[in-house]
Structures are given as structure tokens and as C-alpha cells.
Amino acid sequence: MANPEFLRIILKAGKLEVGNTRVKRRIRKGKLLIFASDFSSREREKFIRMARRLGIPYIVLELTMDDLGRVLSRRPVGVLLITDENMVRGFLGN
């Protein structure tokens, strides 16, 4: 089960890209792509196509963009990218 609170730790460690532009720029380094439940389906499909092409897994959280923004102490955010395998394991609780 994913632990949204762990996202703060990942952000502080510099292993989390936040928002469309940053995620697009760094997607090749990605280990896990994360979407808010209410992120635009059109944009989500674009990211999913990129992720599949690059072999990057993705998940959709049961959190809204507002919820994700609150967790990260930022404005609403719809897409995140974890760039470290160990951080992915911590986030997913593996």
C-alpha cells in the first residue's frame, strides 16, 4: 500500500519531480510515475504512453490534486515522478 506521507521524505531527498513540466523533463530517470485521481485523463494518457515506452510503472492514487498538494505543502499537483528505486520501495512499503 502506498504511503502518501512518505512523499515528503522523497521530496526532501531530492528524488521527487513535481508537476507536468518537471516530470516531462526528467521522465527518463523515473522509477515510478504517480497520478492524482482527478488529474486530466487526456494528460494522464500522454504520460502513460511515455512511461510504457520507457518501461516505467505508474499508479493512480486515491488522492485528489488538492490532497497531493497538501501532502507536499504546495499548490495542487496532478503528476509526480520518483527517480530512486529505494524511495519507490519505501513509498510502496516493500
Domains, the chain: 6-92 (3.30.1330.30)
Select from 13, 19, 73, 71 the least CA-distant residue to 47. 19
Q: Could you state, in chain order, the average pLDDT of each consecutive group of 10 residues for the chain (94 residues)?
A: 89 97 97 98 97 97 96 96 97 87
pLDDT given at position 93? 87
What DSSP character marks residue 93?
T
CB 6 within 8 A of CB 90: yes
Distance CA 19, CA 85 (A): 20
Phi, psi of 83 (to 5 degrees): -110, 15
Which pLDDT value is given to residue 3? 87
Q: Using CA atoms, how far apart are residues 25 and 23, in angstroms rounded to an integer? A: 5
Q: Provide the pLDDT for residue 41.
A: 96
What pLDDT score was predicted for residue 94? 73
The H-or-E segment that residue 3 falls in is none
